[in-house]
Amino acid sequence: MTESDQWRINDLDLDAYLARLGLPAEAPTRDYLDSLHEAHLHAFTFDNLDVLLNQHPGVALKSVQEKFVGRGRGGYCFEHSVLFGAALQRLGYNVVRRLGRVGDPTQTARTHLVIEVSLDGQRLLADPGFGFSIRRPIPLVDEAQDTYRGATHRVRRSAEAGQIHWELQRLRESGWERMHTTDELTVYPADVDSGHHYTSTHPESVFQNQLVVARYLADDRHVTLTQHAITIRKPEQGTAHRELTEQELDDWLARLDVRLTADELDRLHRRIAALPS
């Protein structure tokens, strides 16, 4: 079975996906890749709503496409990267999927999915499903650093027991902060299914214990909601963080164009009330 068949990329309605992004189909170039990556981040929320609502449709491409492209919803890394990776391949990019560990790699499982793109002799890391990450792909070169729209990131290469690892970091006032560490092991759809199952069902998974909804606004502000707080980041203007009331949560969900039915919103509030304080 070929890579394309394995990931069932022909199940994707590419025209509908590009229409959702507001972009035409073009030949593979670095500029177009950057545009696709950023448009994807603006088009879809990063969220765990269906996990909290106990109604997650799974991470098969058809299910993700119906949810994201068909209903205008969002999701988390497995969904974002399954969709983005398929779109890139259909557009002619050379793509492989990679799994990584968020935070301290000695304490976390391989539950983050990213996309590696090979283009014009260069390997690039695309990360469309982290919530607040790189806005455009970054070269997979040791100590590669990229400053874009007021945010600075870098990657660092390491080797352990014969395996190569790539650590993505972001620069904060206190210094460099590790975001996640990916490896170069081959990833199969079964690996993604397994990671999704753990992340969406394990009682100690962060997505079972906290609401997370994040999106870029049209004015380029990045908003992150939890059940208790709102964080708003504006390039080169700093970060604002404050507590959030229940009514404000509803207002911000609407402002972020999170499309929930009345029943889903009611169930979400009941689930939030039962989350750990």
**pLDDT tens for residues 155-203?**
999 998 889 999 999 999 899 999 999 999 999 999 999 999 999 999 9
- Per the rule left: phi > 0, alpha: psi between -120 and 50, beta: everything else, 73 is beta
d(CA 131, CA 206): 14
Domain harbouring 93, CATH code? 3.30.2140.20
5 has a pLDDT exceeding 90 = no
Q: What residues make up the domain containing 166?
A: 3-274
The pLDDT assigned to 4 comes to 64
54 has a pLDDT exceeding 80 = yes
Q: In what order do the strands lie in the sheet with 46-47?
A: 46-47, 213-216, 222-225, 229-234, 238-243
Residue 190's CB: how many other CB atoms inside 10 A? Answer: 8
pLDDT band at 18 (very low <50, low <70, confident <90, very high): very high
What domain count does the chain have? 1
The pair phi, psi for residue 270, each rounded to 5°, is: -70, -35
What percent of the chain lies above the pLDDT cut of 90?
Answer: 92
Neighbouring C-alpha atoms within 13 Å toward the C-beta of 212: 18
21 CB contacts (<8 Å, ≥6 apart)?
Answer: 36, 39, 40, 43
How many contiguous H segments (helices) and E segments (strands) does the chain have?
Answer: 10, 13
The pLDDT assigned to 82 comes to 99
Mean pLDDT, the chain, whole residue set: 96
236 has a pLDDT exceeding 90 = no
Of 71-75, 148-152, 195-199, minimum mean pLDDT range: 148-152
Buried b (16+ CB within 10 A) or exposed e, 104-142: ebeeeebbbbbbbbebeeeebbbbbbbbbbbbbbbebee
- Selection from 112, 118, 121 nearest residue 96 by Cα: 118
